[in-house]
């Protein structure tokens, strides 16, 4: 299996840059005419697989909405991951794991190993120190998977921490981007990505990352092509994955409507891909 970064680059060239989220919150389940329970969750997830499998570069299930239903929810998540991967669709589990030592190693094994929850990449929080993510980063590298590290998020609470300036003059967000870039050293497109909010006023310097940039906040939250172009230099735009969820899912539950919404949104992100 080729490294995640290489596989992702190929998928972006084939399908376009969008990362589509599967966020089955209860209000959306009901809006689709499904019950807000494990059965409704399964029906929702099956529609998403039919709509997005083999159609987009990356699909991002939000694990929290599956965890809500306990073991039944995890069973749905497992089957959803398996179904998407059987369609050769890359899966990013939005789990935002971040811990230390053996606990971080266990999280890594759960999501990046060979178990039933194994995906192509996960999101991870580095704010216990970037080095605390080493078990996940090392296993991802060994298994040709990926990690997206939270760097500069757009939630209001984040700025006080992430914009703190360290002794070397860099913000904490910039140190996270630079540490990810160090893991991506080499000629190939790297497998360690970062998460940068599409609605930020200013983004860290991403020019040396050599890896994917996941940018949530597109669509219903106000971000779009212009906001991304204002944050990311032109030569880095081909590495950007605009992340959309609510803006797409509101078009459901018809598979055809979901696919059309993806096509409409993708047309606004005509970045050059190779």
Q: Which residues are catalytic?
A: 96
Residue 245 is given by DSSP the state S
Nearest to 245 by CA among 61, 42, 53, 46: 61
Rounded to a whole number of angstroms, the distance between the first and last alpha carbons of the chain is 20
The count of other CB atoms within 10 Å of the CB of residue 32 is: 17
Let me know: does 34 contact 44? Beta carbons within 8 Å: yes
CA torsion angle for 243, 247, 252, 256 (degrees, to 10)? -70
Strand partners, 213: 194, 240
Let me know: does 103 contact 76? Beta carbons within 8 Å: no
The residue with tokens 């995906």 is: 119
3-state SS, residue 169: coil
Alpha-carbon span 189 to 177, nearest angstrom: 15
Let me know: does 212 contact 201? Beta carbons within 8 Å: no
The count of other CB atoms within 10 Å of the CB of residue 144 is: 16
Alpha-carbon span 60 to 3, nearest angstrom: 18
Nearest to 145 by CA among 7, 9, 12, 15: 7
Q: Is residue 100 packed enough to be buried (19+ CB in 10 Å), middle (13-18) or exposed (0-12)?
A: middle
């Amino acid at each position: 299996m080729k490294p995640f970064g290489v596989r992702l680059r190929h998928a972006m060239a084939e399908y376009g840059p969008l990362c589509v989220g599967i966020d089955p919150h209860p209000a959306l389940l009901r809006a689709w005419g499904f019950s807000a329970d494990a059965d409704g969750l399964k029906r929702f997830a099956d529609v998403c697989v039919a709509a997005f499998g083999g159609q987009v570069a990356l699909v991002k299930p939000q694990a929290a909405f599956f965890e809500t239903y306990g073991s039944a929810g995890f069973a749905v998540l497992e089957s959803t991951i398996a179904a998407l991967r059987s369609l050769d669709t890359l899966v990013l589990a939005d789990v935002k794991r971040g811990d230390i030592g053996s606990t971080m190693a266990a999280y890594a094994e759960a999501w990046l190993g060979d178990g039933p929850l194994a995906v192509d990449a996960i999101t991870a929080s580095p704010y216990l120190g970037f080095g605390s993510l080493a078990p996940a980063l090392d296993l991802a590298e060994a298994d040709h998977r990926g990690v997206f590290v939270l760097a500069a998020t757009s939630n209001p609470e984040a700025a006080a921490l992430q914009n703190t300036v360290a002794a070397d003059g860099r913000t904490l967000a910039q140190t996270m981007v630079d540490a990810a870039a160090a893991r991506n050293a080499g000629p190939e497109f790297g497998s360690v990505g970062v998460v940068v909010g599409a609605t930020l006023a200013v983004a860290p310097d991403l020019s040396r990352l050599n890896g994917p940039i996941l940018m949530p906040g597109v669509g219903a939250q106000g971000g779009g092509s212009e906001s991304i172009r204002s944050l990311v230099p032109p030569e880095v735009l081909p590495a950007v994955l605009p992340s959309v969820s609510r803006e797409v899912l509101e078009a459901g539950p018809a598979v055809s409507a979901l696919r059309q919404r993806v096509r409409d949104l993708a047309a606004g992100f005509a970045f050059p891909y190779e």
